[in-house]
Structure 1
Amino acid sequence: MSKFELLAPAGDLEKLKVAILYGANAVFIGGLKFSLRSRASNFTLEDIKEGCEFAHAHNAKIHVTCNIVMHEHDTDDVIEYLKALEACGVDAIIASSLYILKMVLEHTHMEAHVSTQQSSANSETIDFFTKFGVHRVVLARELDLDEIKEVVKNSKVDIEAFIHGGMCVSYSGRCMLSNNMTNRDANRGGCAHSCRWNYDLIKDGKVYNKEGDYFAMSSKDLCAIKAIPKLMDSGVYSFKIEGRMKSLHYIATVVNAYRRIIDEYETTGKVLDYDSYITAIEKAENRLTGTGFLFGDPTVDCQLYDLNLTVPTKDFIGIVRGYDKETKIAYIEQRNYFLPNTTIEVFSPRGTFNLDIKEIYDEDGNSLDAARHPLQKIHFKSDIPLSEFDLLRLI
């Protein structure tokens, strides 16, 4: 097993399983309380228990986020909830509140991890948290590779760093745009992503942009593929992917790409083809990416000042729900339009390969001229055995 942790997001139980099957050896999720993604399909205690059992059976761990900025009414049942999470088998709690971290350390045997919401950007801050008793600190996303290396060298606890996903246009955990403009608190799970809205540019009452040609000010998403070797050499222990509200296709694709590059560099000491990993990720990305602060302060090329956004791919056409070895029938849950008599790509934890499909049928056995209804249950013959959670793509 790798000595490095690849930490993936999951917004529901199915995504948790997909993340682990496609290469994550840890997953972070949100429960129904104290979570910063209030619009995600957050986990019940029953789901968390099932997720922990699945993770532990696959030598993976589960981290639960309890990282909101707490108000007075949030303090009532913290200890009870933490003990319930521990009883489910949770391995670690991610929090920004010192009170929650203290309660984790005093009342449970789970690890306490300091959230990136604390904007930990120097070794003195990490030393404070170390003396406080935490097991890990998640770094601020505003550090470059040299700063990360220096921080890790001077730290006595595990260090976690973000490698992929959304970047805040402000300092992580410090933006107040959503609060001001919509009364939705970004630090309590309600961010409206105001930086991604379309704006007019106005000065002295004059509108400077053309009609329909609006202005936005968000950051490109982070993609650290080319920084992975340096991050590994620096001693970063955990590599974190952002995106609890992303699709299972996104999670599987991104996790698998980072799993493979980490394994390649750990095994051989080099990376032969960075672009192959970037190309793989692009099959599921729906926003443009950049390197954030990793190689120095972001330039204009790392920002999105207009509508130059990528369009979500429609290449993901289905997920395998079952396979009958005797009849060689694959049972599929369809996601995007595709036709019979097509060569498709099967993306699986076992690798990627092409598959020729002929006739396709609905649940009642009716032959279909096209799979056109998302989530429709269909089936077709496949001489190549398929497995649950294999993903199907157009070529």
Structure 2
Amino acid sequence: MTTKKVLKRPEVLAPAGTLEKLKVAIHYGADAVYIGGNAYGLRSRAGNFTYEEMQEGVAFAKEHGAKVYVAANMVTHEHDEEGAGEFFRELRDVGISAVIVSDPALIEICATEAPGLPIHLSTQASATNFETLEFWKEEGLERVVLAREVSMEEVKAIRENTDVEIEAFIHGAMCISYSGRCTLSNHMSKRDANRGGCCQSCRWKYDLYEMPFANQKRSLVARTKSEEPFSMSAVDMSMIEHIPELIQNGVDSFKIEGRMKSIHYVSTVANVYKTAVNSYMEDPENYVCKQEWIDELWKVAQRELATGFYYKTPGEDEQLFGARRKIPAYSFIGEVMAYDEETKMATVRQRNVFSVGDEVEFYGPGFHHFEQTIDVMWDEEGNEIDRAPNPMDLLTIPVSQPVNVGDMMRKKK
């Protein structure tokens, strides 16, 4: 008699660069979000949280049964760690569920000066085998974010040999360097990538030059005018078609990249992965990855999508090189603020320009979608208008199906 394997529901972990994004991510299904504080993070240009914003974010998350983690994953130089103890104590006292750290000095400071605050190991620490996870377990860490270079076979082996919680990236941008530890930005723009200042030098376009001959004054570009410039950049990751394998191999937390992405991105990606996870957990034996989920992710894709290192070493097709696949471009144009069932009218806060005659799509949590044409609309004073050009204006629009507060509008560019 064989014992049926009990599958653990994974956490859907979404990025939240601002308080607004935190609330949107949780509204659209995220079980947890990760944010940045005002120090020790790797996204200096993200909308990092003040202490007061953290308080509000944690309260909102708890009200909805979600968790908030704080990324404090910078590599510290001399004196960077000053004040870290107080910072971690503030996180603990405000109710942060865990802090994500890579630097051993910060880990030690957090463990000794803010006892009771759980510590997760950042992907920056390059954990690629179960012995590493066991080491950090002995240091008191309860979860490890795996390096993005880990294969699916390695994920399976890690789970079979340790009970440490595994967090793994399943969607978003991929860094071309090993676990994000890169100094291109330091050299090219004097912005320290490992202390929050990365200028994404790998995304720049480069020409490839031949070495000059003795009688030449300058190098020659070693490509034809029809070829694209080179980059050192990977395409983005998407594991939507491999949810069963991730769950069966014991990944506890599905991590989505993108603290600097828009609420359009955060809402869409969190919505898709939560829908897929729910579908699998409800009926694993009959689970099917739906094409509409894949299509939905392409609506917010900035680059082509692949599976990273999970199944093979990425080659030319997994890099931003050569001819580009055309990506459907959608514009986030509004958010539903109210809905009147009797009149079937929605009050929408405009985010980008749209006009009467535009084909638009409404979407909401739980993968509720529908499309319609904007036939008429009114501004906040009740004047009928043909075009909505001003961000954050309140507009009234008749809708063909019921909508809810927090539903989003977009249109194809």
How far residue 384 of structure 1 moved from its aligned partner, in angstroms, is: 4.4
SS where residue 14 of structure 1 aligns?
helix
Distance in 2 separating the partners of 1:309 and 1:343: 24
1:223 counterpart = 2:238: yes
TM-score (norm 2): 0.90
Q: Could you say which residue in structure 2 is the equivalent of 1:289?
A: 305
The residue identity in structure 2 corresponding to 1:8 is A
Query: 189, 206, 213: which is aligned to 2:220?
Result: 206
How far residue 177 of structure 1 moved from its aligned partner, in angstroms, is: 1.0
How far residue 31 of structure 1 moved from its aligned partner, in angstroms, is: 0.8
Contact 2:299–2:330, Cα closer than 8 Å, also in 1: no
1:138 counterpart = 2:145: yes
How far residue 299 of structure 1 moved from its aligned partner, in angstroms, is: 1.8
Query: 237, 241, 245: which is aligned to 2:256?
Result: 241
Q: Which range moved further: 306-315 or 149-158? A: 306-315
For residues 85-115 of structure 1, what are the alpha-carbon distances to aligned partners after superposition, in whole Å with 9 as ceiling and x for unaligned? 1221110000001222223333231210000
Query: 315, 327, 333: which is aligned to 1:299?
Result: 315
Distance in 2 separating the partners of 1:108 and 1:379: 51
1:36 counterpart = 2:53: no
Q: Could you say which residue in structure 2 is the equivalent of 1:272?
A: 288
Q: Identity, % of aligned pairs?
A: 44
Runs of 5+ unmatched residues, structure 2: 1-7, 212-218
Q: Could you say which residue in structure 1 is the equivalent of 2:351?
A: 335
The residue identity in structure 1 corresponding to 2:390 is H
How far residue 307 of structure 1 moved from its aligned partner, in angstroms, is: 6.8
Structure showing greater Rg: 2
How far residue 306 of structure 1 moved from its aligned partner, in angstroms, is: 4.1
Q: Runs in 1 of length 4+ with deviation above 6 angstroms? A: none
Distance in 2 separating the partners of 1:104 and 1:367: 58
Query: 57, 60, 65: which is aligned to 2:66?
Result: 60
Q: In 2 relative to 1, CA 385–275 (structure 1 residues): closer, same or farther, beyond 3 Å? A: closer
For residues 146-167 of structure 1, what are the alpha-carbon distances to aligned partners after superposition, in whole Å with 9 as ceiling and x for unaligned? 0111012112210100001111
How far residue 52 of structure 1 moved from its aligned partner, in angstroms, is: 0.5
Query: 72, 81, 89: which is aligned to 1:83?
Result: 89
Q: Could you say which residue in structure 1 is the equivalent of 2:3?
A: none
How far residue 311 of structure 1 moved from its aligned partner, in angstroms, is: 6.0
Query: How many residues are treated as equivalent by the alignment?
Result: 395
Query: 202, 216, 226: which is aligned to 1:195?
Result: 202
Distance in 1 separating the partners of 2:204 and 2:186: 14
1:361 counterpart = 2:370: no
1:392 counterpart = 2:409: yes
SS where residue 68 of structure 2 aligns?
strand
Instruction: After TM superposition, list the pairs within 5 Å mapping 1:139-218 onto structure 2.
Output: 139-204=146-211, 205-211=219-225, 213-218=228-233
**CA RMSD, 1 decimal:** 2.1
How far residue 331 of structure 1 moved from its aligned partner, in angstroms, is: 2.0
For residues 58-93 of structure 1, what are the alpha-carbon distances to aligned partners after superposition, in whole Å with 9 as ceiling and x for unaligned? 111000011111122222211111111122111000
